[in-house]
Amino acid sequence: MSDAPVPPVPSASDSAAESVERGRRAAAVGDWKTAVAAWVAGANAGSLESANLVVTAVPPLKGQADDGDVDAMALLAGVMLDFFDESAVPLVLAYATAAARAGHPSAQRTLGLMYRTGRGVEPDGRRAEDLFTAAAKAGDAYAAFNLAGMHITGDVRARDHDQCLRLLRQAVAGGVTEAAAVLGDRLASVDADAEALSWYVYAAERGHAGSMFAAGCRYRDGLGTVPDPVQAVRWFLAMLDKGDGGRGYGDGLHEAVQMVRRGMTDEQIRTAGQLAGRSSEAETLIRTARPHGG
């Protein structure tokens, strides 16, 4: 990663709201593919409204797919696999197969996922690998991520650590935040701690709770960097923005309290709170975790 400033990352709620409106504008002029893509992005950002809009847009999108629009087929297959129950799987398979045969990368990825998981077909790891490989070569970031996962689990013909890293970097470049977190894990597993930290921070800046916890722990312990209590508490507090406070990944608030009790100054705590967008929680830490200030 470079030392250049990173632009502010929109909050999930802002991104979801923008996706809803972008989709509505596209739908108003009959551009259902753009509308559905926008609403899927909003749903992935946590918007129930977007998820509901995706479902309502399926009939017109299906009409385009049935008229032979390969892009619509590929998009519809992915949407139905993600948003519909198992009764939709036969249609998903039909649309994904047709679009994959036409060389559509996202359809290849969808079909690969079906073979990987055995949804609607007999599980076939080699077929999944071939489909993910074709899609990744065509630039599909999620296919690259899925193929990297097969390298990690050893479900490819020839497991390759370096190829796994290349695929994860491709996925990150294509906007798959989770891939940055996994890249951090893979680098940490071979003691490339400085680079691992850089990817944890990258993912943390984009809202990945597990990476927030990993970055906080590494700044706390000096793994890949010098110990930095301000950055450690910053990321531990940032986890509070997650739905359950990020506790599914580790107890950030508990770790922040422990850091403060080790002797942080008021100025350090306040700086950490400002960086995390949690100034009020920082003041609470000053009053309660170390009642007499510093």
Q: Is 205 helix (H, G, I), strand (E, B) or coil?
A: helix
- Concatenated DSSP letters for 161-203? HHHHHHHHHHHHHTT-HHHHHHHHHHHHHTT-HHHHHHHHHHH
Dihedral in degrees, nearest 10, Cα atoms 68, 70, 75, 79: 50
Contact 125, 105 (CB under 8 A): no
pLDDT in tens, 212-236: 999 999 999 999 999 999 999 999 9
Which amino acid type is present at position 279? S
Per-residue pLDDT tens digits for 94-152: 999 999 999 999 999 999 999 999 999 999 999 999 999 999 999 999 999 999 999 99
**157-208 pLDDT, tens digit each:** 999 999 999 999 999 999 999 999 999 999 999 999 999 999 999 999 999 9
Neighbouring residues of 275: CB distance < 8 A, sequence distance ≥ 6:
230, 231, 234
- Residue 96 is inside which H or E element, if any? helix 89-101
- 141-171 pLDDT per residue, tens: 999 999 999 999 999 999 999 999 999 999 9
Q: What is the overall mean pLDDT for the chain? A: 91
* Backbone angles phi and psi of 60, in degrees to 5: -65, -35
Q: Of 213, 167, 205, 212, whose CA–CA distance to 186 is shortest?
A: 167
State the sign of the Cα–Cα–Cα–Cα dihedral 101, 38, 119, 86: negative
- pLDDT category at 11 given cuts 50, 70, 90 is very low
**Nearest to 247, CA basis, from 208, 196, 209:** 209
Q: pTM of this prediction?
A: 0.88
DSSP string computed for 15-78: HHHHHHHHHHHHHHTT-HHHHHHHHHHHHHTT-HHHHHHHHHTHHHHHHHHHTT-HHHHHHHHH
- Strand, helix or coil for residue 109: helix
pLDDT, residue 290, reads 67
**pLDDT tens-digit series, residues 255-281:** 999 999 999 999 999 999 999 999 999
CA angle, corner 176, sides to 38 and 53, nearest 5?
A: 20
Q: Measuring CA to CA, how many Å separate 160 from each of 120, 151, 170, 172?
A: 29, 6, 15, 18
Three-state DSSP at 279 gives helix
Place of tokens 């519809």: 76
